[in-house]
Amino acid sequence: MTNQLNAKHVVVAGLGLSGQACLRFLMGQPVTLSAWDTRAEQTLPEGIDIPLTNGEPPKNYWDNVDLLVVSPGLALDHPQLQRASQQNVEIIGEIELFARFNQASVLGITGSNGKTTVTLLTTHILKACGINAVAAGNVGLPALDAMSLNPEAIVLELSSFQLETTHSLALVGATILNISDDHLDRHKTLAAYSDAKQRIYNHAQSALCWRDQQLTYPLPLMVDVIEFGQQAELHDFGLKNHWITWQGEPLVNLAEVKLVGLHNVLNIQAALGLAMLLGVDVRQAVAAVYTFEAVAHRCVPVSDKGGITWIDDSKATNVGATIAALQGLGAERRGKLVLIAGGDAKGAAVKALQPYFEQYVDELITLGRDGKQIGRLKQGSVHTESMQAAVIQAHQFARPGDIVLLSPACASLDMFKNYEHRAHAFIEAIASGDVC
């Protein structure tokens, strides 16, 4: 096949993980290659010697450029991207570049919440069933780096930002796990955000869809759809008597699963369905489900200090993720549920949390930029100025047998380096003597 990049002038914009993977891949292609990064201090990876422009590029920068491979962190309405587009420069992302060269079977996973769990669990199942599979995309390993490993299958976690610049990704199976308000600071509307997610189905052979949310179904509806959900169903995946069912028959005993919460029931169902699309026998896959460990910072118990179950859900960076955690843990709790929430809501409508606070949350503690706004949704909430203070307050509320849940419903950058840093602050505060 003729190399579609032959003799093209390609610019890679943004030198994060995906941008560096693009550079490594393109260094082996017959192109004229250069790079641009908005950050003045950004440097090229070691061993790559090409022209690099930092900050604002000169006015004639896009002259004679054929292809711009853009980082998902750069919004398409960025003035420089608009200028490039006006000069007929083709704009794609790393995933689209991957799509044009990949030969492996690919599964694609997107949604507001649960993407990482489903991506890693699907990969775990495939490996346990003898398929050489690699997890990649938004989960850590760039897709182009995964392709270089020559696996049989690649399981891609895909964000809405990545999908915006993806046009021809061929998938054996794809899923939108769920849709809730997220990244509205960039997408502006829920409809635009949902439209970006829908791009995952453009060239997919089959879809996994959550029967409780129509937005997770491909539009227009594809013929080959597998459904999952918490209802007891005689077709596809369901839930009955604490067992995940397949076509009405018991399949996975939830008492033997290490993932907690009803929201993880949906994640398990989706992962099983995706594995089936690559030829895995669903009953053979069950043993792998039982050995899968929870993803860090996603509804993970981190302490039982004082007889209280302390749960780290710091990866819940949007409203939908916290709702999922409250539904998953709150419905079956025996003691009180104390929630710590707050941070940067990224323009999301936090009022959607209110009915779930009323149903599941006994005590609410807030912190961060939008913490007071969240606190107004529940009478008697307490606002704190630090994670240490929030944990001390939680310990005053909680008694043995209760749950303290850190599920912020917000991004972390107003107070922390990232959600991992926020989680570590939570765990360190629990371990300190102040909560004894």
Phi/psi of residue 138, nearest 5 degrees: -70, -10
CA Rg value for the chain: 23
Cα 66 to the center of its chain, rounded Å: 31
Q: Which residue has the tokens 């907690």?
A: 260
* Residue that has been written with the tokens 């182009």 in this structure: 144
CA–CA separation, 157 and 378 (whole Å): 35
- 8 A C-beta contact, residue 415 and residue 340: no
Question: What b/e string do you get for 58-71 counting C-beta neighbours within 10 Å, with b at 16 or more?
Answer: eeebbeebebbbbb
User: Which residue type occupies 389?
Assistant: A
What secondary structure letter does DSSP report for 289? Answer: H
> Catalytic one among 183, 297, 315, 395?
183
Q: Which of 138, 178, 267, 318 is catalytic?
A: 138
SS3 49: coil
Provide φ and ψ at 108, rounded to 5°: -120, 135
Name which of 331, 385, 390 is nearest 365 in CA terms.
390
Return the amino acid letter for 32. Answer: T
Active-site annotation holds for 115: yes
> Does residue 51 have a cis bond before it (omega within 30 degrees)?
no
Residue 244 near residue 283 (C-beta atoms within 8 A): no
Cβ-in-10-Å burial (0-12, 13-18, 19+) of 127 comes to: middle
Q: How many residues does the chain have?
A: 436
Residues 6 or more apart from 264 whose CB is under 8 A from it?
114, 117, 257, 299, 328
How far is the C-alpha of 107 from the C-alpha of 172, rounded, in Å? Answer: 6
Taken in order 246, 251, 254, 258, the sign of the CA dihedral is negative
DSSP character for 366? E
Edge-to-edge strand order for the sheet containing 225-228? 133-137, 153-157, 105-110, 173-176, 207-210, 225-228
Active site residues: 115, 138, 183
